[in-house]
Structure 1
Amino acid sequence: MMRRARVLTLVSLGVAWSTSLAGPGVGVLLETRPAWAVAGLVGVVLFGATHAGVLYAAVTPGAARGRWDVAFVAASLLSVPLLAPVAVGRWDTWAWVGAALVGTAPVLVRRRSWAVAPVVVAVAVVVSPEPLRALVIAGGVGVGLALMHVLPVWLWDLVAQAQRGREARARLAVIEERLRFARDVHDLLGHRLTVIALKAELASRLAVVDGERAGAEADEVRALAAAALAELREAVHGYRTVEPAEQASAIEQVLTSAGVRCTVSVPAELPAAARELSWALREAGTNVLRHSRARWCSVDVVADADEVRLTVANDGATGARGPRGSGSFGSGLGGLAERLARVGGTVRTGEEDGVFTLVATVRT
């Protein structure tokens, strides 16, 4: 979804960007004075290049927008002395620059675009020998372009906010799960550790006056510590164990929210050994999100008499080399292969016609 909205916005902004080349470019072609023709060409190139850069950075997360903004402001200011005198009297060269500025104001300055448009139009009217024509070009054409871009820019803002919301929700879910696990561990061990500390202190005091009773207390401390360790291991095992159906459902939700069409087929009841496939599901889902440009993904789990087989396929293959290869998937799938091997399972990967497939099996 983010990719589609960004492409739509860039295509729409390309209409306004074309005015930064086509409109002033006509003025340069009409200029008969060589010096001003060269100056106008320099102005068109500088403004067009920085205009393209600042528009691209405005809808590209992680781009160096600050640098492009500075370069664009400098090029816009230089365009006035370089382009305003070009083809004067025959073509309002800088008015077309003003139209490009007004047309892209909704992207560059968002809510402050209403304050930018009058300033740009005023500059176009002042530097032009024919104020009315400059007003029509910078004001009329520029405002028309701006209105064309309101919907794509609004859509881009909504998608960007939704993406930030999903990321924030994911972070909150992780924090909440950590807090829940911390509470469980505290409730599980807090009382036992308190009792162990008290009994250990009592055994230390009794050691010099009643050795037999001190030994009994030490035995109780040992038993309490062993019980606490067993309960902790049980809690951690339950925390780390996830049913394949639950993992597949979580992956389906994450991929769908990321714009990947996902189909899942997992039996409701599976043998206990199939829980190890949850790790394969998690690794496969991570690979789809991080290492590919997939548009669809399928998850299929089949239980036979002696094994359970997981198949995950997507159309975003990027040259993975298998579980022990040196490709981008190598490390994660290598660890997964070792984990499944310990329980008699296997994992293999393949790539054909742009489709990457992971097949993991465990014996029942």
Structure 2
Amino acid sequence: MASEAVTSRSDRRLHRARQATLLSLVTGVWVSVLLPAVGLTHEPAPGRVVLGAVGILAFVTAQTVVLYAAVTPWLDSRWRRRAQVSLAGTAVLTVPLVGPVAAGRWPTWAWLGAALIGMAPLLLRLRAALAMATGVLLVAVAVAVWTGGSIARHLAVTGGIGAAVAAVNGLQIWFWGLLVDARQGQAAQVRLAAAEERLRFARDVHDVLGHHLTVIALKAELAARIAPVDPERAGREAAEVQRLAASALTEVRETVHGYRAVDLGEQLAAVAGVLRSCGVRCTVSPPPAELPQSAATELAAVLREASTNVLRHSRADWCRIHIDRDDNGARMTIANDGADDSGPDEHSHGLRGLADRLAAAGGELRVRREDSVFTLEATVPVAS
């Protein structure tokens, strides 16, 4: 269905946005490895170089895992907490492992401290993040005193660089949060629309059946009560009950038929709106006037399948939907670019099902691909 296509396309776009956010964050992390690694080149003691390299790699690994969790909202909260605890433990271990590296010559640990402050907005609320930043600055001062380094230099690197990284990371996570909220809002709108339609149908059925069932119950009770004393009248009442039941059944069938009836114009507008919301330029021609309901139903099925294929199996920039009618029937043509070898072809299950459905109705389905343009053409008979 179209709603499923929306979900699929939106999820893919959200997935790409998540990948881009994660790549940006992780790139920043691995770039920051270079600056602490400079201290390794200034350290003459091989033992400290090894310990420092182990500490830096462990810290960066834990940091990468936490960044992954920050942009993966469906992860279990326990897994997220474990990742954060691991980062905290690794950060503590880096003090004795990395702190003495290039003592007095390069603020090696200060760069790790800046990375910690930069991650604060991803892990904590504002007050907790400020408290964490204060603690990291105090550790930076302690490391500077311990190693004989410059306190001002350590504070400048840890505080200044850390604040800049925190601002960039916080902005990226804020944008990511907006995307997730928008996706959840879109899904909620789809669910709400479906619920409202079910309620509308339930109200219609209640209105149709309520009166008839009440009268039927009363008539049946009357017929049962008078049957012993006036069989002839009881028979008339029973016949009336039968008539009322048949009338109620007819009205329910008409209600269900109206509920299932397809407004092809509305379907076209909805599909065009979905495609445009997903970044596909869509051109739609209005359906012919007085198109029979049977033909509209078949073409609507084609429209749903074709729009799903555009969203799921292509990277379309444009889509054109055209419907015309002649003496032989109605024809819908849907063309889009962005098709590739992974997209649908004439052997796909969805298109095979459509072809069988149209053939049963006396119609025909044809597809073709020219370079990256995929075209689907469906014809259905129209009774004169």
- Same fold per TM (> 0.5)? yes
What is the TM-score when the length of structure 1 is the normalising length? 0.85
- Cross-structure match for 1:67: 79
Query: What are the within-5 Å matches in structure 2 for residues 256-275 of structure 1?
Result: 256-267=276-287, 269=289, 271-272=291-292, 273-275=295-297
Aligned with residue 129 of structure 2, among 109, 113, 123: 113
Q: Percent sequence identity over matched residues?
A: 49
Q: Distance in 2 between matches of 1:303 and 1:107?
A: 55
> 1:89 maps to what in 2?
104
Show the 5 A alignment for 1:49-68.
49-63=61-75, 66-68=78-80
Distance 1:29 1:196, change over 3 A: farther
Q: Does 1:309 align with 2:321?
A: no
Q: 1:64 to 1:122 in 2, by over 3 A?
A: same
CA contact (8 A) 1:284 1:358 kept: yes
Partner residue in 2 for 1:42: 54
Unaligned runs of 5+ in 2: 1-12
- State how far apart, in whole Å, the 2-side matches of 1:268 and 1:45 are: 66
Can you give the 5+ residue segments of structure 1 that lack an aligned partner in the other structure? none
Shift of 1:228: 1.4
SS of equivalent residue, structure 1 residue 165: helix
**1:296 to 2:314 alignment:** no
Displacement after TM superposition at 1:70 (Å): 2.1
Distance change >3 Å, CA 297–CA 175, structure 1 → 2: farther
Q: Answer whether contact 1:99 1:137 (CA < 8 A) is retained.
A: yes
Q: Which has the larger displacement, 65-74 or 118-127?
A: 65-74
Q: Secondary structure at the match of 1:304?
A: strand
- The equivalent residue for 1:277 is 299
Q: Let me know the Cα RMSD of the aligned residues.
A: 2.9
- Pairwise CA distance, 1:295: 4.2
In 2, are the aligned partners of 1:24 and 1:94 still within 8 Å (CA)? yes
| Shift of residue 102, structure 1, vs aligned partner | 1.9
Contact 1:252–1:264 at 8 Å: present in 2 too? yes
- Looking at structure 2, the residues matched to 144 and 38 of structure 1 have their Cα atoms a distance apart, in angstroms, of 30
The one-letter amino acid paired with 2:175 is L
CA contact (8 A) 1:121 1:139 kept: yes
Give the direction of change, closer, same or farther, for the CA distance of 1:310–1:106 in structure 2 (3 Å limit).
farther
Q: C-alpha deviations, 1:5-63, integer Å up to 9, x for none?
A: 44553454245313442122223343333333333222222222232232233224535
Deviation at 1:170, TM superposition (A): 1.6
Misfit runs of 4+, over 6 Å: none
1:153-208 CA-partner distances (Å, limit 9, x unpaired)? 33222222222221112211111111111111111111111212222233333444
Number of equivalences: 358
Q: Larger deviation: 180-189 or 203-212? A: 203-212
State which drifts further: 346-355 or 226-235. Answer: 346-355
Q: Which residue of 1 aligns with 2:364?
A: 346
Using the size of structure 2 for normalisation, the TM-score is: 0.81
Counterpart CA distance in 2 for 1:46 and 1:214 is 91
